[in-house]
Chain A
Amino acid sequence: MQKVKGIKNNLSAYGFLSPWFIGFVLFIGGPIIASIVLSFTRWNLLGTPEFFGLQNYVNMFMPGSGFLNSLRATLFYTVISVTVSVFASLFMAVLLNFRVKFRGIFQFCFFAPAVMPTVALAFVFQLIFNQHMGILNYGLSRLGIAIQPNWLNDPFWVWVSMGIVTVFTYSTGQMMLIFNAALKDVPQAQYEAADVEGANFFQRFWHVTIPNISPIILFNVVVGTVNSFNTAFSIVFPLTNGGPANETMVLSLELYNSAFGMFNMGHASAVATVLFVIVAIVGALQFRLSKKAVHYD
């Protein structure tokens, strides 16, 4: 009797799960396997796929290949976007925890750009960053700063530009709200104890705030890293389209270009496979790392 009930229970549970299961097979699991299969072929999407062996992978790892460059760009993008997002959001969250009036208004101002579509963000920053007509360089010259960077067309400054734009993205806004909530949960008693010892603002921040929110920082780094693989395309594509000279050609953009620009489906699938492996490794690493910090149950 008990056993029958257990089976019935399992059946109904899987009944509830069936939409996800079908979706998983059709839209995630199946495609991942199919990508791996396609990565061993040569196919232009119009004809029929030909077996191509490991040639796609061999080409990818040739010195000077676009793929190795994309790996580098992806690494740069991830490091920059995660670092900037975490620091900027923590900074704003600390500001929002000042005991001041109008905090709602400030929070609105801090968060409002986060809900902007990245296309709109990219458009306006193309204007702001323009070397000769943009307001940023004009502002710099008015401040007496002599350098006039070609923001989006210089291999160094383009990453600075990416960092600046990151401040306005949804990831940063999201992290800010999380930090904001976490800061409110830091036990007041600990601050008071620090005050008794005569700690200044920075000492309090370092010795009380940081230890209390360190799991949240780790959590944000984890989520931010995983998100960066997803957000890279929606920012880089409209902002620089991989330029200057492939400097910001992140993997997702390379995949899009080779699949839907060159119709080299084999190569694109190989890139997809490698990207999937990278995400799997990063995910597994972070999973181990964050086990202590993040509780799912």
Chain B
Amino acid sequence: MKFSMKKFVVLLVVMAMMAMIVACAGGNNNGGENNQADIAADVVDEGDDAGDEEPTEEVVETPSGDQVVIRFSMWDTVDETVNFIQAFHDANPDIRIELVNIPEDYSTVINTMVAGGTAPDVILAWEVDMPRFAANGAIIPLDDKVAASDLVDVHDFMPAVSELAEITDGIFGIPWVYAGHFLYFNIDMFEEAGVALPTDDWTWEDMEAAAEALTIRDGDNVTQWGLTAIDFGGIWYSMIGQAGDSIIDNDMNLSMDAGLRRTLEFQYRMTNELQVQPQPGAGAVGDMFAAEMAAMTRQGNWFIPAYTDASFRWDIVPLPQDARQFTNLHTGFFTISADSPHQEEAWRFVEFMMSHEGQTLLSEFSANPSAMMSVAAEGAFQVPGEHGPSNWGAFDYFNTSGEFTFVLLNSTVTGNLVDQFNAVLLGMNTIDEVIDTIVPNAQRELDALQ
């Protein structure tokens, strides 16, 4: 085996030449038609979705049975028997919705599909992705369609949501429902410990005192935690907002300083000094609140259905306030892929979802309030379990104290930041490091994105 330097150089030159050939041959075709996008798919599909899209300009023939298949992506794991799909099928027998469920790394996967030209016809897009897709022509403008529709009323949206929809020049996406964060508590545990139940105007200090009173120790071992660790990263940003930071400024740059410091100090004390909440990561396997190992947890309102079967009594209140009352809001936008060969049918689906009936069904399914104030007022999202919740008034603070902040930034960057916050609790970072180095680094990463 002889492999001299000279040959290595020759090898590099050869490779370079070959790459040029490839680059020249391949470069021009970029963005060309995606013919035969799914050959392998067809092979393995046994013809069950004959409408497999080929995103070309031509009219694609409708499959046998005259049904148009619309692929619709969302992050929840549901099938076609879910209420809103079924209702749509009943009302529109000529269209069939094929669900594309992406429960993990939703934004990443959808972006990959959009970039790869295999996007679903209707994408439920995250707040950060909708403007990105719009700017790159991946989704179509909906102004005309909205204007022509009797069913969709854009003036009925709650204020925070309508502001958000104005990020783009024109309407590219229509918000489906919206969500915020709550403090969940186990009434049985509170009563057992003789601690007064949380109220809508609780402060961080109240939460801290209750967590201390509710933590039960057996020697060094904690057998009942006052509070769970923050398992959902968005809660961090809600607390930072409560502590007074705006999280993002008007130019969509990160704006976190004193509030971040206060939040990190508070969480550090709760975790490591008072030891009333476990270290981050403990909730990765099981929900400690559901397993009755913790008396309180901070989670999105979409966890209400997850606790429906809980055997203990529980309820919700707004997240405790600090410098101000605040929660991050979440939503998603119905958007229509520019590659979709069935944009009219896709719009009919979106239109249905935004109608009174569709919004009511979506609210019942997701336990999130409709972004349309008239529908939300009817309370279809209030799906109580056997043992809770009853404090539906807690939802009001989404309107008065809710904002869209970190969800407008790249989710990989904001997710990494949460890891770095958690690292403070694990003793890996100092608070100064986070504020002086890590946040500016994250800002640089955001700047590097187009």
Contacts and interface: CB of A to CB of B under 8 A. Distances in A.
A279 interface: no
Given A44-B449, A287-B3, A297-B1, A245 B422 contact: yes
Give chain A's interface secondary structure class.
loop
B429 interface: yes
A97 to B, nearest CB: 31
Interface stretch (A4-12, A23-31, A215-223): A23-31
Interface in A1-53: 25-26, 29-34, 37, 42-47
A154 B280 CA distance: 10
A187 interface: no
A281 to B, nearest CB: 12
B16 A132 contact: no
Interface string B13-26: 01110111111000
Contact of B281 (A29, A152, A261): A152
Interface stretch (A59-67, A104-112, A162-170): A59-67
Nearest to B23: A34
B284 A126 contact: yes
Contact of A34 (B1, B19, B114, B284): B19
Interface in B3-35: 3, 14-16, 18-23
B278 interface: yes
Interface string A147-161: 000101111000000
Contacts of A134: 285
A59 B282 contact: no
A231 interface: no
B15 A47 contact: no
Contacts of A25: 18, 21-22
B422 to A, nearest CB: 7
B297 to A, nearest CB: 14
B416 A246 contact: yes
B263 interface: no
B294 to A, nearest CB: 10
Interface stretch (A71-79, A82-90, A204-212, A262-270): A262-270
Nearest to A50: B450
A25 B413 CA distance: 35
B423 A34 contact: no
B115 interface: yes
A30 B19 contact: yes
B370 interface: no
Contacts of A291: 1
A65 B286 contact: no
A46 B138 contact: yes
B279 A153 contact: yes
Interface in B118-165: 132-133, 136, 138
Interface residues of A, number: 52
B95 interface: no
B281 A150 contact: yes
Contacts of A257: 412
Given A130-B285, A150-B426, A264 B449 contact: yes
A66 B446 CA distance: 13
Contacts of A62: 444
A34 B22 contact: yes
Contact of B114 (A30, A46, A133): A46
B105 A261 contact: yes
B43 interface: no
Contacts of A29: 14-15, 18-19
A131 interface: yes
Given A42-B448, A59-B448, A131-B279, A245 B428 contact: yes
A155 B428 CA distance: 7
A131 B220 CA distance: 14
Most buried by B among A45, A47, A126, A287: A45
B441 A65 contact: yes
B259 to A, nearest CB: 20
A296 B136 CA distance: 52
Nearest to A259: B112
B1 A260 contact: no
A242 B112 CA distance: 20
Contacts of B410: 261-262
B111 interface: yes
7 contacts: A30-B22, A46-B114, A150-B281, A244-B422, A247-B423, A263-B115, A287-B3
Nearest 7 Cβ contacts at the A-B interface: A33-B19, A245-B423, A153-B281, A261-B412, A46-B136, A30-B22, A29-B15
Interface of B: 1, 3, 14-16, 18-23, 105, 108, 111-112, 114-115, 132-133, 136, 138, 220-221, 278-282, 284-286, 288, 291, 293, 410-413, 416, 419-420, 422-423, 426, 428-429, 437, 441, 444-445, 448-450
Given A153-B279, A244-B428, 6 more contacts: A29-B18, A46-B136, A65-B441, A133-B291, A244-B281, A245-B420
